[in-house]
Homo-oligomer: A and B are copies of this chain.
Amino acid sequence: MSKNMIIGQSGGPTAVINASLAGAIEYAFGSEKIGKVYGMVHGIQGLLEDNVKDLSEHFENRPSRLNRLRMTPAMFLGSCRYKLSNSDEEFEKIIAALEKYNIGYFFYIGGNDSMDTVDKISKYVAENKIDIKVVGIPKTIDNDLMGIDHSPGFASAAKYIALAVRNVTYDTAIYSVKSVHIIEAMGRDAGWLAASSVLARDSKNVAPHLIYLPEVPFSVDKFISDVRDKLEDYNSVIVVVSEGIRDDKGNYISARGDKIDKFGHVMLSGTGTYLKEVIEEKIGCKVRALEPSVLQRSAGHTASLTDITEAQNLGMVAVKAAIEGESGVFSTLRRTSNKPYSIEYYTENVSVAANAEKTVPLEWITESGNDVTQDMVEYLRPLVKGVPQIPYRDGLPDYVNVSYLDTKKQKYNNNDDSDK
């Protein structure tokens, strides 16, 4: 008799987590080994609260809806930030919840914390000889997961940053006055997203002129001197910084911009805003700080097609592996060639990705500490390629309905009338 599967999403959103969900659902629909497909609403926390959604009912025989799911940013099933307590009692609750739905296959899409959850549950079921296959599916915009060439979600955020820098380059090129634009990219400990801004360069554009990553200690004096140098050669200077840059003592630069509000409270500004103020004071030219914030991770309409395809395939690979009997692994990919870009999918022990962090290799940062090397460009370039055919309706992307997630609503809207 076939067993059912359940899948959940956890951690922060990306543009392509739902592509992994769609890939996993699609593969399961095509397999005789899997019965019904369930979703944990708000991840493992939802499972513990019996907040479970019937995905077979919602998506089966609805290829157009499944396609829209693939193109919908963030998480159809909602997220949680739930750390397992490691108590037998909690594991028993999880197993009881899974048995209630006759689950034989458990999938969790997330970053390194989520892979830790997969690791722990898979070990518990193995030790207790419970027949449930537990498999992870990777995601994170930060690209800091170990055991994978690049994380799904990263490429679309990287493309967003490169697009923003290119557009700002054109926006500011029109004036013949000195100016500096600072774009702050996400990345607390790893500088991958700030580094991706290098893709805005081509034969016609040299911006960004300066790129600063958290992997190299940041000196405000050196920064001012770098900006001054660039202003010698260009009217309009574009700088990209990781939010997580810090000084040689390890203190975040963002924590320096201490202001006092009208109530006398000390306030922390963003990294870009602080550096804007420093340039205004020390150089005195026009400066603008731009912080795309969550827009860089939620921009479904400009996702990379390569990213969407890979995320979807990683969802499929995970389900295939579980059906074939694997557990305690996550689906991953390695690059076999840069030109032409070529990857292969496989599975890896999930402990490789759990609670570890991959930062930018120092040899991909220039000696000056304010730029990245050609090796970085070659690593990044293939990832952002491809423009997906997003379904549009009334001029905007026609995503799937996620309004059911807002439990506050007395009567939520579960209507999704866009299926053709």
Report A's interface with B, CB cutoff 8 A: 9, 13, 42, 72-75, 78-80, 159, 162-164, 166-168, 170-176, 199-200, 202-206, 231-236, 258-263, 267, 277, 281, 288, 290-295, 297-302, 304, 381, 383-387, 390, 392-397, 399-403, 405-410, 413, 415-418
Given contacts A13-B174, A260-B260, A413-B204, contact A166 B384 (CB under 8 A): no
Let me know if A204 and B416 touch, CB within 8 A. Answer: yes
Chain B proximity of A206: nearest CB distance (Å): 7
Given contacts A258-B262, A262-B259, A407-B176, contact A395 B200 (CB under 8 A): no
Let me know if B262 and A267 touch, CB within 8 A. Answer: no
Chain B proximity of A208: nearest CB distance (Å): 13
Q: Please pick, from B78, B233, B399, the residue contacting A204 in the complex, using a CB distance under 8 A.
A: B399
Chain B proximity of A61: nearest CB distance (Å): 20
Given contacts A13-B171, A290-B293, contact A159 B395 (CB under 8 A): yes
Task: Contacts A234-B409, A384-B396, A385-B395 known; list 13 others, CB within 8 Å.
Answer: A73-B167, A74-B171, A74-B174, A162-B395, A163-B301, A167-B299, A168-B298, A203-B417, A204-B416, A232-B408, A259-B259, A263-B281, A290-B293
CA separation between A159 and B395, bound complex, in Å?
Answer: 8
Chain B proximity of A164: nearest CB distance (Å): 6
Let me know if A170 and B402 touch, CB within 8 A. Answer: yes
CA separation between A172 and B386, bound complex, in Å?
Answer: 27
Let me know if B297 and A199 touch, CB within 8 A. Answer: no
27 contacts between A and B (CB under 8 A): A42-B176, A73-B170, A74-B173, A78-B176, A79-B174, A80-B176, A159-B395, A159-B396, A166-B397, A167-B301, A168-B294, A199-B394, A199-B396, A204-B401, A204-B413, A204-B416, A204-B418, A206-B403, A232-B408, A233-B408, A234-B409, A260-B260, A295-B295, A302-B302, A381-B394, A384-B396, A385-B394
CA separation between A232 and B408, bound complex, in Å?
Answer: 7
Chain B proximity of A345: nearest CB distance (Å): 22
The residues of B that contact A394 with a CB separation of less than 8 Å are 199, 202, 381, 385
Chain B proximity of A275: nearest CB distance (Å): 13
The residues of B that contact A163 with a CB separation of less than 8 Å are 299, 301, 396-397
The residues of B that contact A291 with a CB separation of less than 8 Å are 291
The residues of B that contact A261 with a CB separation of less than 8 Å are 259, 277
CA separation between A176 and B407, bound complex, in Å?
Answer: 7
Chain B proximity of A403: nearest CB distance (Å): 6
Q: Please pick, from B79, B206, B393, the residue contacting A175 in the complex, using a CB distance under 8 A.
A: B79
Q: Please pick, from B166, B298, B405, the residue contacting A167 in the complex, using a CB distance under 8 A.
A: B298
The residues of B that contact A167 with a CB separation of less than 8 Å are 73, 295, 298-301
Given contacts A79-B175, A174-B78, contact A235 B408 (CB under 8 A): yes
Instruction: With a 10 A CB-CB cut-off, give which of A262, A267, A417 has the most chain B CB atoms.
Output: A262
The residues of B that contact A410 with a CB separation of less than 8 Å are 233
Chain B residue with minimal CB distance to A81? Answer: B175
